[in-house]
Amino acid sequence: MGTLNFSEVVGSANSSKKLINLLRGHVSQNQRCWPWVSLLTRSRCRWPNTSLLPTQLLERGSQKVFQTPSISNPALLYGPDNGDGKLRVNIASWLTQFFQPSAPVTEDRICITGGASQNLACLLQVFTDPVYTRNVWIVSPAYMLAFRIFEDSALKLRAVPEDEEGIDIDFLRREIQKSEGSARAQGNNEPRIKPARPWSKIYRHVIYAVPTFSNPSFKTMTLKRREELVRLAREYDVLVITDDVYDFLQWPASLTAQTLSIEKAILPRLVDVDRYLDGGTERDGTDGFGNTASNGSFSKICGPGLRTGWCEGTEKLAFGVSQTGSSRSGGAPSQLAATFLAETLESGELQRYLYDTLQPSYGRRYQKMVTAINEELIPLGVRLPQTDRDVVGGYFIWLTLPSPLKGAMVAQRAKDDENVVVAQGEIFQVPGDSEHDGTHFENDIRLCFAWEEEDVLAEGIQRLGRVIRTLRDEHDGGRQKATQQASEGSARDFW
Ligand SMILES: Cc1ncc(COP(=O)(O)O)c(C=O)c1O
C-alpha cells in the first residue's frame, strides 16, 4: 500500500458521496522532499472554517487605522525592528491575563513576527550554527511543515518520542549525551560559521515542541515534563522553541459540558516555566538569553492570511530575534496587519471573540467528533491519547488504529470508498529519523475538526468506521482463507 496522494484531496472522482475533508489541504507538486511530504507541499492542513473568520472585527480595526493618519501613516511605512509598539503592549497585557505568569509580561519580552513559521526561521538564523548546533530535537509526531524550515538552516533533525505525559525526557537526555560525545570527539567546541554577535548567542542544541494541544498528536505536555525539559535545556545549552499557537483554543473535555469557554490557560508555557523555575532566567551565572522562545500566532484565532504573530522570550532573546537581517532592513514583518490587530486587542473585541465565539464553536465541533468516535471507532479498537484530561483544545484529534491496520491503507480506502480525506501518521515522522520506538506512525491517523462543516463531522466518523470494519473483515476473511487452505493442504499431505 502506497501513501495517499494528497493531490487528490478534492476527493474521489468516482464517488457519489459528498467529500468530507478531515485533512483540509491543497497541493502544489513542485517541491523536493520525502515521498509523503512532497505530496503535501504547500498543504494547509489546518485551516479554520471560514464562518469563524472574524472579518467584521478586523474591518473595524482597519477602519480605525485608516481613519487615523497618526496610525495609518507609520503603518504604511517601514516600522521598528521589533514591530508595532501598540501591538506589543496589547499582546503583553493579554498574555499576562491569560497565562498569569510569575511576573507580568512586559512589551520588552515581545517581538512582532510574520507568524510562527516565519519566526521559527528567524530564531534559527540568529541563534544557531549549522555545525556547532549539533541537532534540532523534534517532538514526534511533529508538525511536518517545520521540517523544511530546519533544513533551510542546515540543521540535523532528530526525532524524540512522546509518551502519555509528553516528551520522553530520558530518551532525549540519552541522545543529547551521545551527540555531545561525538561533538567533543570531533573538536566541535565553538561556533565557527556563525560566531555570536552582541545581540545573539549560538546554542548547542534546539528542541522544537508544540506542548499544548499539539498538532498533530493532540497531546498536552504535563507540568512535570515542562519543568524537566527546562532543566535539561539549561544543562545542555538548548534553545527550546515552542509553537504555542493552540493554547487559546481550549474547552472542557467533558462531552456534556454546556459552557465551552475557559479564559485562563491551564498550564504555563515553557517560556513561563523558564521564568520561575530555580531562580528563573536571571539566576546567577546565566547570560540572560534564557532557554526558551515562545512562538505565538494570530493564524488560529484570527486568520492565517494576516501572517502575524509574536515571539516571547527574555528581553535579550526578544531583542536578538528582532535583529534578524531581514527585520533590520525595513522592520518587523506584517507591519500593517499588526496595526489592525493592535486595535482589536485594545478594544477587547478579539479576546471576547475568542472566548464567546471561537472556544464554544471549536468545542462543539470537538464534542460532535469525539462523541461519534466513542460510538463508532472505539468499539473497533481505535485509541485516543490522554483520555483523562479535564481540558482539551486545538484543531486535531490523533487516532491509533487497531493492529494490523495501517494509516496509509485507511486513508486511501477512506478516500476511494467513502470520499473522506484524513491524514496518515507517516507524514508527521521526522525525515531520516523514524527508526526508534515511538518515532514512526504507520498505525495512526490525524483528523481535523476545524475546517469541515460542523454537521458533517459525525458522518465523517461513521464513514471512517465503515472503512475500518471493511478492512478488518477483509483481513479476517483473508486469514480464515489462509487457515483453511493450510488445513486443506495438510489434510492433502496426510492422505
Ligand atoms: C504547530 C504549528 N506551528 C505553526 C503553524 C503555522 O503558524 P503560522 O501561520 O503562524 O505560521 C501551525 C499551523 O498549522 C501549526 O500547527
Mean pLDDT of 407-417: 97
- Amino acid 5: pLDDT: 44
- Amino acid 220: pLDDT: 98
The pick from 210, 298, 299, 301 for probing ligand 1's pocket by mutation, whose C-beta has the most ligand atoms within 8 angstroms, reads 299
Is the pLDDT assigned to residue 7 strictly greater than 50? no
For 83: left if phi > 0, alpha if psi spans -120 to 50, otherwise beta; the answer is: left
Mean pLDDT of 11-15: 73
- Amino acid 384: pLDDT: 98
Query: What pTM was estimated for this model as a whole?
Result: 0.93
Ligand 1 pocket check for 210: Cβ under 6 Å: yes
Question: Which grid coordinates belong to 424?
Answer: 496518515
- Amino acid 33: pLDDT: 37
Query: Residues 6 or more apart from 204 whose CB is under 8 A from it?
Result: 132, 133, 134, 180, 183, 236, 237, 238
Ligand 1 center from residue 491 Cα (angstroms): 61
Mean pLDDT of 6-28: 68
Q: Which long-range contacts (CB under 8 A, 24 or more apart) does 352-358 make?
A: 353/54, 353/57, 353/301, 354/248, 354/301, 355/261, 355/263, 356/261, 357/52, 357/54, 358/52, 358/248, 358/249, 358/301
Lowest mean pLDDT segment, chosen from 42-51, 72-81, 384-393? 42-51
Ligand 1 center from residue 291 Cα (angstroms): 21
Ligand 1 center from residue 293 Cα (angstroms): 15
- Amino acid 26: pLDDT: 33
Q: Per DSSP, what are the bridge partners of residue 161?
A: 140
Atom of ligand 1 nearest to the CA of 113: 10
Percent of the chain with pLDDT over 90: 86
Per-residue pLDDT of 335-350, as tens digits, reads 999 999 999 999 999 9
For residue 155, count other CB atoms closer than 10 A to its CB. 22
DSSP state of 443: T
- Amino acid 43: pLDDT: 46
Tell me the domain boundaries of the chain.
6-53+359-478, 55-352
Ligand 1 pocket check for 90: Cβ under 6 Å: no
- Amino acid 485: pLDDT: 75
The pick from 297, 310, 427 for probing ligand 1's pocket by mutation, whose C-beta has the most ligand atoms within 8 angstroms, reads 297
- Amino acid 6: pLDDT: 43
pLDDT band at 11 (very low <50, low <70, confident <90, very high): low
Is the pLDDT assigned to residue 44 strictly greater than 90? no
Ligand 1 center from residue 428 Cα (angstroms): 14
Lowest mean pLDDT segment, chosen from 37-46, 245-254, 316-325, 405-414? 37-46
Atom of ligand 1 nearest to the CA of 395: 16
Is the pLDDT assigned to residue 488 strictly greater than 90? no
Whole-number Å distance between alpha carbons of 194 and 268: 33
Ligand 1 pocket check for 309: Cβ under 6 Å: yes
Higher pLDDT, 37 or 230: 230
Is the pLDDT assigned to residue 42 strictly greater than 70? no
Lowest mean pLDDT segment, chosen from 9-23, 40-54, 106-120, 151-165? 40-54
What are residue 157's phi and psi, to 5 degrees?
Answer: -85, 135
Contact 124, 105 (CB under 8 A): no
pLDDT band at 490 (very low <50, low <70, confident <90, very high): low
Percent of the chain with pLDDT over 70: 92
Residue nearest atom 13 in ligand 1 by C-alpha distance: 46
Is the pLDDT assigned to residue 19 strictly greater than 90? yes
Ligand 1 pocket check for 297: Cβ under 6 Å: yes
Whole-number Å distance between alpha carbons of 202 and 205: 9
Per-residue pLDDT of 422-434, as tens digits, reads 999 999 999 999 9
Ligand 1 center from residue 115 Cα (angstroms): 8
- Amino acid 31: pLDDT: 35
Is the pLDDT assigned to residue 176 strictly greater than 90? yes
Mean pLDDT of 74-87: 97
Ligand 1 pocket check for 149: Cβ under 6 Å: no
Is the pLDDT assigned to residue 391 strictly greater than 90? yes
Mean pLDDT of 326-335: 96
The pick from 117, 122, 301 for probing ligand 1's pocket by mutation, whose C-beta has the most ligand atoms within 8 angstroms, reads 117
Domain 6-53+359-478 is classified in which CATH homologous superfamily?
A: Aspartate Aminotransferase, domain 1 (3.90.1150.10)
Question: Which grid coordinates belong to 207?
Answer: 528542541
- Amino acid 30: pLDDT: 35
Ligand 1 pocket check for 299: Cβ under 6 Å: yes
Atom of ligand 1 nearest to the CA of 210: 1
Whole-number Å distance between alpha carbons of 26 and 9: 7
Whole-number Å distance between alpha carbons of 169 and 178: 14
Per-residue pLDDT of 348-373, as tens digits, reads 999 999 999 999 999 999 999 999 99
Bridge pairing between strands 309-312 and 292-297: antiparallel
Ligand 1 center from residue 173 Cα (angstroms): 27
One CATH from 3.40.50.300, 3.40.640.10, 3.40.50.150, 1.10.150.240 for 55-352:
3.40.640.10
